[in-house]
Chain A
Amino acid sequence: MKARRWLGRNAIRIYAVVAFAYLFVPVAYTLAFSFNDSGKSNISWKGFTLDKWKNPCGAPDVCPALANSLKIGVLATLVATVLGTMIAFALARHRFRGRTATNLTIFLPMATPEVVLGASLLALFLNLGVNLGFGTIVIAHVMFCISFVVVTVKARIAGLDPRLEQAAMDLYADEWQTFRRITLPLVAPGIAAGALLAFSLSFDDFIITNFNSGAENTFPKFVWVSSLRGIPAQANVIASAMFFIALLSVLFGQAVTSRKKQKG
């Protein structure tokens, strides 16, 4: 009886634990197989080794592909964040004609399946006779990242207390000073979130990249190509390392914000 009541009260918590287990099983597999003492193919378990972690660039093409992905990610994030933040400010702070059309143009890329985005951009490049490569990948990534930056930054601007800026103006700050010293610092977390989102979208994108990359290699493309003949465990090492870096930086960011809140 007691046990049943406990179960009833905690059913939702038990469900949450099961759901989290489901979320993390594939991650656990990826991590575990980074320690696999495998040869060319990394599908079945052959025994534990640290060799792959000691030598993450040991498999051919892994590290050049990774470096390419990082370069593309940084470049696309920079451009998309600047362009997207500008649009977000225009939408949140100004009245202008063509607002609906702008909102629609921002929304549509997010509502379009990636295959269609990739295929249509390739159709354009083919018609214009553009050589596919690093440049076309960056162009494509900026294109699909802008909307996500706009939405993220706009939500942050909408959440600002307008009285803070009014106070600055009352204290004789001019428009530029108000923007520089009050608005921008307050919106910065939103911009940072948008940039992080853009980077992770760019870094992990395969479908659109595959259409517009030509012979250029990226990390996801490397994984895809080698999945046909066996993925080297080094790919798992790099993915696991990225996972821990991302997780730790998010946790660190949260710790800093909550400490600030406590102090404030």
Chain B
Amino acid sequence: MSAAQGIGIGERQTLEDPQHDRGSTAPSQPGRRRLTPYLLLLPGMAWLTIFFIVPLVTLLSTSTQTRPDGAEIGVYTQTWRFANYTDTLDEYLTVFGRSFFYALIATVLALAISYPLAYAIAFKSGRWRNLLLVLVVAPFFVSFLLRTIAWKQILADQAWVADALRTVHLLGPDGRIINTAPAVVIGITYNFLPFMILPIYASLERVDPRLMEAAGDLYASALTTLRKVTIPLSLPGVVAGTLLTFIPAAGDYINSALLGNRDTTMVGNVIDSRFLRVVDYPTAAVLSVSLMLSILLLVAIYIRRSGTEELV
């Protein structure tokens, strides 16, 4: 969770460098000093290179492979068939659109739930603040899958939520919530909430309350203060929170698998089944590469437009 805060806070690139300054006073071993950062980096970066970067390259290479005629299931050779991309995306364009659409709605909902809550914790909670922060994270100590299965029970046809909605005629007599698109969106919204709440809280906490008082002294109404002072100052947290919610949401397939139906299939579901059940590696690879690239592109545009480039 504090990772979320870390990203929200951003990195001070112009960090003072006491070790470096001191380096000049210890000229006896300049060679060792210059090597130290590389030695520190070596094992971790090697791990990430072998098990993150190389796999991405493997994935790229898999995405243009084809199955030779008469070969066994699961055997593919490199033929540089870039038409794999157009074929696959043609077939799964709606699934792609749906994933991003669900992720977008879930992110907006999560923001609407999280901002007032983070605001209340930052400014209205007094000495209960730390306890409330623990309570924000606490639900996520319960296994992610079991929480989603709990939603399956909550939204079930015979459960009280559906009953209540039927009584007030928001839901038809045969209407249901479970196994529908709204159920999937509810599940996604819930699952990534702390990733939204914590960064927003971290940046709200650093807003000087005197700035808000000053706005009030200058005859700004509570709403104007919020709009002109508080929200702009907390924007880095909002940007970090929306990214940390949107990215996992767009790739999620658990909620769709447990709470949705055949028409709520997301990209994640297709990648999962192509890879693990159909053994159609090229298609799964094409979808993975496209998902990752489109997310990175969206993130880059979003960060550029919201003017918080120091985020990365």
User: CB within 8 Å of B: which residues of A?
Assistant: 12-13, 15-16, 19-20, 22-27, 29-30, 33, 43-44, 83-84, 86-87, 89-90, 92-96, 102-117, 119-124, 126-127, 139-140, 142-143, 146-148, 150-152, 154-155, 158, 162, 165-166, 169, 175, 193-194, 197, 200, 204, 206-207, 210-211, 219-220, 223-224, 227, 231, 235-236, 239-240, 242-243, 246-247, 250-251, 254, 258
Q: How far is the CA of A115 from the CA of B268 in the complex (A)?
A: 6
Distance from A11 Cβ to chain B, minimum over Cβ atoms (Å)? 9
A to B CB contacts below 8 Å, 22 in the list: A16-B132, A22-B190, A23-B135, A30-B146, A30-B147, A86-B41, A86-B44, A87-B45, A90-B40, A93-B17, A94-B20, A95-B37, A96-B34, A116-B59, A120-B56, A121-B55, A143-B47, A150-B44, A151-B6, A155-B5, A206-B254, A243-B141
> Could you tell me the distance between the alpha carbons of A193 and B2 in the complex, rounded to whole angstroms?
7
Interface status of B278 (Cβ within 8 A of chain A): no
List of A residues within 8 angstroms of B15 by Cβ:
92, 158
If A90-B36, A152-B6 are given as contacts, then 11 extra A-B residue pairs at C-beta distance below 8 Å, sorted by A number, are A16-B121, A30-B146, A43-B156, A95-B17, A96-B34, A114-B251, A116-B292, A123-B59, A123-B281, A227-B258, A251-B131
Q: How far is the CA of A15 from the CA of B123 in the complex (A)?
A: 14
Query: How distant is the Cα of A113 from the Cα of B66 in the complex, in angstroms?
Result: 25
CB-CB nearest in chain B for A160? B18
B residues apposed to A, CB below 8 Å: 1-3, 5-7, 9, 11-12, 15-20, 22, 26, 34, 36-38, 40-41, 43-45, 47-49, 51-56, 58-59, 62, 113, 116-117, 119-121, 124, 130-132, 134-147, 149-154, 156, 158, 190, 193, 243, 247-248, 250-254, 258, 267-268, 271-272, 275-276, 281, 284-285, 288, 291-292, 295-296, 299, 312
- Among B1, B7, B40, B130, chain A packs the most CB atoms within 10 A around the CB of B40
| Alpha-carbon separation in the docked complex, A189 to B268 (Å) | 36
Q: How far is the CB of B182 from chain A (nearest CB, A)?
A: 15
Are B124 and A12 touching (Cβ within 8 A)? yes
Q: Which of A115, A123, A127, A239 contacts B142 (CB 8 A)?
A: A239
CB distance from B66 to the nearest CB of A (A): 15
A264 to B190 Cα, complex, angstroms:
39
What 8 pairs across the A-B complex have the smallest Cβ distances? A113-B251, A94-B37, A83-B44, A26-B150, A120-B55, A90-B40, A246-B141, A29-B150
Q: Are A26 and B190 in contact (CB under 8 A)?
A: yes
Q: A121 to chain B: which residues have CB within 8 Å?
A: 51-52, 55
Bound-state CA distance A147–B45 (Å) is 10
**In the assembly, what is the distance between CA of A121 and CA of B153, in Å?**
34
CA distance A183 to B250 in the complex (A): 40
* Contact for B150 among A30, A95, A148, A243, CB less than 8 A: A30
Q: How far is the CB of A260 from chain B (nearest CB, A)?
A: 14
Which residues of B sit under 8 angstroms from A113, Cβ to Cβ?
247-248, 250-252, 268, 291-292, 295
Asked if B12 and A120 sit within 8 Å, CB to CB, the answer is no
Contact check, A116 vs B291: say whether CB atoms are below 8 A apart. Answer: yes
- In the assembled complex, which residues on chain B have CB atoms less than 8 Å from the CB atom of A165? 18
> Which residues of chain B are within 8 angstroms of A227 by Cβ–Cβ distance?
145, 149, 258
- CB of B11, distance to nearest CB on chain A (Å): 7
Whole-angstrom CA separation of A251 from B128 in the bound complex: 12
User: Which chain A residues lie closer than 8 Å to B284 at the CB level?
Assistant: 119
